Amino acid sequence: MLNQSLQLFLKGNKMIDQMYGCDIEAFKECVKDSITYKLSGGAMVVAGLMSDAQEMMAHGDTEQARQYLNRAKALVFDMVEHKLSFYPEEKH
């Protein structure tokens, strides 16, 4: 039973890796620490990911473009749930 659970967990991680091309939780942490997020907000990070995806598609790399779009969607979902902000951090 434990072996089956471990196999499902590993399969899930493989699926997540294929979906995003990275560890999405680690990616979100990097976004939170990025200068773009701090100065321009999450909306600009998402716009950047979408622009990168467009460039990848223009060069025929649809798989990596798909992963970048999935990363952008993951960030938007976190913004909707108020885990990330669309807007820059307020300066105190």
Give domain limits for the chain: 2-80
Tokens representing 76 are 């938007």
Mean pLDDT for all residues in the chain: 88
Which of 3-12, 56-65, 81-90 is predicted most confidently?
A: 56-65
CA distances from 18 to 3, 61, 62, 78 (A): 22, 14, 13, 20
Exposed, middle or buried, 63 (CB in 10 Å: 0-12/13-18/19+)?
Answer: exposed
Under 8 Å between Cβ of 46 and 34: no
- At 89, the pLDDT band (50, 70, 90 cuts) reads confident
Least confident of 30-34, 56-60, 88-92: 88-92
List the Cα angle 17/34/63 in 5-degree steps.
30
